[in-house]
Chain A
C-alpha cells in the first residue's frame, strides 16, 4: 500500500513539474496584467530550444557518455529559456508596445509555437538524447537507499528541484521584495503605479519575457526527464500548457500553492494510469478533473473570494 502510494506521489510530482514551470511563468506574466494564452506555444518553443541545446552540447562532446552533466543541463536550460523568452518578447512587443489584443496575440503565438516546434523537431538530431537524459534524471543517486523518504523526495531529476526553487523564488519575489510590490501594482492598478513613478512598460516587458522563459523550461523537462529524451515531435506539450494556465487560476495566482497544485494536477493526470482496474474510457474522465477543479475555484473565488484571490484587476486589458 505504502509503495503504491509513494509511486503515485513520485509520478505525480514528476508529471506536475511540467505544469509547475508553465504555471509559475504564467503567474509572473499575469501579475503584470497580461493574460498570455501563448504559454502552450511558448512551452513548445522552450522544448525545442532546450532540445537544440542538448543536441549542440552532446554532439559537440567527444564522448557523449563522458560529457559534463552540469554543463549539459545549464546549456540546455539556457537555450530553452532563450527560445521561450524570445517568443515571450514577441508577445510583449505586440501587446505592450503595439497595444494589441492580448487574447488574440496569445492564441496566434500558440498556433505559431506548436507549428514551430513540430516542424523543427524533425530537424533535431536526437541520437544522444537518451544518453543525455540520464544527466537530467535522479539528481541524488543515493536516494534509493533511503526508503520511501528517498523515493518521494530525493529520487527526482534536477529540473524538478529547479521548478520548486523557481516557484519559491517567484513567491519571495512577489511577496517580499520591492520589485514584486511594484509588479503587483502594475497588474492591479496601472494608473496608480504610473503615478508612483513606476515604469509600467519596463515591468511588463521584463516579466512577460521572464515568465515565458520559465515556462519554456517545462517543455525541456518533458522531453529530457519525463520521457527520457525519446519524445519531441510527437509530444503534445501544448495540452500541458493549457493545464498550466488552468493551474494558475486554481492556485489563485500564488506560486507556493502552485507547488502543491501541480502535484494534485500531476496526480490526476497519472492516477488513471496507476489504477489498472479502470477501463480506457474511464481514464479519460480523469483528464478533465483538473479543469473542473479550476472552474470551481474560479466560480467560488468570484462569488465568495477575498479580493486577494481574484485575478489581477487589470488582467487582459
Chain B
C-alpha cells in the first residue's frame, strides 16, 4: 500500500546558544498514520515539535507539507498548513466556555457562538469526544480540558496533529477513550504525532515509532515489527561508564520509612499511588522516572509542603505527616528541588547569597535580629569550598549563573547538618565539573551516615552513584533495585511501564524494611488511627 506523505522534515538543526537541541533530524509522517516520537527527557522531542508548530524556527533544514516546502514562523502559519499542536500545559482561559476558548484568536469568520457550539458538537460527534461546548473551563476535569485543546486544533482545520505527552495527565480509562478517538481521526485521513514515554502505549497506539536521543535522530521502526526491548535500547543508548565512586558505607537502620503513600497533584489527580519505600542512613536511594511521574509531589510531601492524602511518612519512627514545614526542617530533613527554571523553590532570587544562606536558619537565636554576620561567614566559606563564581557574598542570587545558584542551594542544605537529604535534579543544567562537585558533596554526606533521596534525570549517573534505585511510572512503584545489579535497559523498561517488578515479586513486601523502627502492631495502630481519623472526618 503506497502512502501519501503528509509532513517531511529534512536535516533540521536547532540550537539555543551553545546547546544543540536538534541535530540533522529527519522525520516523515504519512497520512492515515499515528507516529510515536520516543525519547528520554531532553532528547529534543518538544523542540522538534515546536518547530513544526511555529513556536521556534529551525536554524537549518527544510520542512515539507504535502510535498511542498513550507515556511512556518508562527503558530498561525502552522495552522495555515493544517498543523496543530496540543501542548502539555493547556493554554485556556479559565472563565471562558469550551466554545469560547476554541474560537479564541480566530478572526476571519462571523462571531456567532451558537454556530460555534453546534460546530463543536459536530466535531465531537464525528470523532467520539464527550464535550459540552457551553461548560466553563474551570468546571472541567483535566481530560475535558485536553478535549477542548484537541477540538481547538480540529476546529481550525488541522490535518496534522501533534500531541505532547497527552496521556501523562489521564486515567487508564481516559487513555483508552483518547486512543479510540485518535484511531478514528487516523482513519479519517489525519496524521497524528504523539510524544510519549510509555512503551506499552507506543506499542498500542502507533503505526510507526521514531526515536530521538540527545537531539539526534536515531531511526524509525514499524511498531508491528519491533519489541519494547529494542525500542528501549534505541532510546537510552549504550551504557556509559562514569567515574563516580559509589562509597561503601555501613548503612544504619531506616531513617525515613514511607508506606502506602497517596498524594494528589494540583489538578486533583493522584500523583503518587500507594508508594512504599525506605531510606537508611549512609545510603543513596535514587528515584528514576519520566518527568511528571510524581517525583515533585513526593518531595513536597516529605518536606511538609503538600497534603498527604493517606499513608505514612515516618522519620526515625515518628510520623511527620501533617507537621508544619518548619518542624520537619528542625528534625533534620532537608529538601531541595531544582525546578526547570532553577529558581522556583528554595531560593529567593533577589536576595543576596548571605540572605539565602540563612533562609532556613534566620530564626535562630533569642534576639529579634537576624545574625547576618554568621550567615556571611557561612556564605564566604561556601563560596571558597564549592568555588562559587560571584563578585561577593552580597550579590543577588539571580545574577549568578545556573551552576553557581545550585551550589548555593545544595551547599546551604548540607550546611544545616541534616540527617535526611531529599534532592531533586541537583545537577540540572550543570557542566561536568560542577556536577562532580555536587556528587562529591552527596557522597561525603553519605559517609557521614546521612540518608539521601536522589531524584535524577541521567540514568548513567544514577547507576554509578546510587545504592538502590526506586523506579516510578505514573505515580506507581515499578520496582526498587540495587544499582549494581541492574542495567540501563531494565531501568528504561520500568520507567516506561513495560516492566513492573512489584507484580513479579509480590511476596517480597516491596519497600518495607525488615528492621523497621516500628513494630508491626505499632504500624497497625497508626493505620487504625488514620482510618479512624478519616471516618470521623466523614
Q: State whether these chains interact.
A: yes
Q: Nearest residue in A to B138 (C-beta to C-beta)?
A: A307
CB distance from A151 to the nearest CB of B (A): 40
Q: Is the CB–CB distance between A188 and B95 below 8 Å?
A: yes
Enumerate chain B residues within 8 angstroms of A307, measured Cβ to Cβ. Answer: 94-95, 136, 138
Q: Is B514 an interface residue (CB 8 A)?
A: no
CB distance from B298 to the nearest CB of A (A): 28
Q: Which of B447-469 contact A (CB under 8 A)?
A: none
Complex Cα gap A176–B104 (Å): 13
Complex Cα gap A239–B444 (Å): 67
Q: Is the CB–CB distance between B94 and A184 below 8 Å?
A: no
Q: Is the CB–CB distance between A181 and B104 below 8 Å?
A: yes
Q: Is B391 an interface residue (CB 8 A)?
A: no
Enumerate chain A residues within 8 angstroms of B136, measured Cβ to Cβ. Answer: 307-308
Q: Is A127 an interface residue (CB 8 A)?
A: no
Q: Is the CB–CB distance between B105 and A196 below 8 Å?
A: yes
Q: Is B119 an interface residue (CB 8 A)?
A: no
Q: Is A256 an interface residue (CB 8 A)?
A: no
CB distance from A137 to the nearest CB of B (A): 38
Complex Cα gap A188–B137 (Å): 13
Q: Is A78 an interface residue (CB 8 A)?
A: no
CB distance from B152 to the nearest CB of A (A): 9
CB distance from B421 to the nearest CB of A (A): 35
Complex Cα gap A292–B74 (Å): 49
Q: Is the CB–CB distance between A185 and B76 below 8 Å?
A: no
Q: Is the CB–CB distance between B105 and A197 below 8 Å?
A: yes
CB distance from A315 to the nearest CB of B (A): 13
Q: Is the CB–CB distance between A198 and B96 below 8 Å?
A: no
Q: Nearest residue in A to B74 (C-beta to C-beta)?
A: A197
Enumerate chain A residues within 8 angstroms of B128, measured Cβ to Cβ. Answer: none
Q: Is the CB–CB distance between A197 and B76 below 8 Å?
A: yes
Q: How many A residues touch B, CB cutoff 8 Å?
A: 19
Q: Is B111 an interface residue (CB 8 A)?
A: yes
Enumerate chain A residues within 8 angstroms of B93, measured Cβ to Cβ. Answer: 184-185, 188-189, 192-193
Enumerate chain B residues within 8 angstroms of A184, measured Cβ to Cβ. Answer: 93, 95-96
Complex Cα gap A193–B96 (Å): 12
Q: Is A123 an interface residue (CB 8 A)?
A: no
Complex Cα gap A48–B427 (Å): 63
Q: How many B residues touch A, CB cutoff 8 Å?
A: 18
Most buried by B among A177, A181, A191, A307: A181
Complex Cα gap A213–B351 (Å): 43
Complex Cα gap A111–B136 (Å): 41
Q: Which of B76-105 contact A (CB under 8 A)?
A: 76, 91-96, 100, 103-105
Enumerate chain B residues within 8 angstroms of A181, measured Cβ to Cβ. Answer: 96, 100, 103-104, 111
Q: Is B238 an interface residue (CB 8 A)?
A: no
Enumerate chain A residues within 8 angstroms of B106, measured Cβ to Cβ. Answer: 178
Complex Cα gap A188–B106 (Å): 18
Enumerate chain B residues within 8 angstroms of A1, measured Cβ to Cβ. Answer: none
Q: Is B508 an interface residue (CB 8 A)?
A: no
Partner of A197, one of B75, B96, B111, B138: B75
B54-74 to A contact mask, C-beta < 8 Å, 1/0: 000000000000000000001
CB distance from A30 to the nearest CB of B (A): 14
Q: Is B18 an interface residue (CB 8 A)?
A: no
Q: Is B107 an interface residue (CB 8 A)?
A: yes
Q: Which of A169-225 contact B (CB under 8 A)?
A: 176-178, 181-182, 184-185, 188-189, 191-193, 195-198
Enumerate chain B residues within 8 angstroms of A193, measured Cβ to Cβ. Answer: 93, 104-105
Enumerate chain B residues within 8 angstroms of A195, measured Cβ to Cβ. Answer: 75, 91
| The 9 nearest A-B residue pairs measured at CB | A196-B105, A178-B111, A192-B91, A197-B105, A196-B104, A195-B91, A189-B93, A188-B93, A307-B138
Q: Which residues of B contact A (CB under 8 A)?
A: 74-76, 91-96, 100, 103-107, 111, 136, 138
**Other 7 A-B pairs with CB < 8 A, given A181-B96, A192-B92:** A178-B111, A184-B96, A188-B94, A192-B104, A197-B75, A198-B104, A307-B94
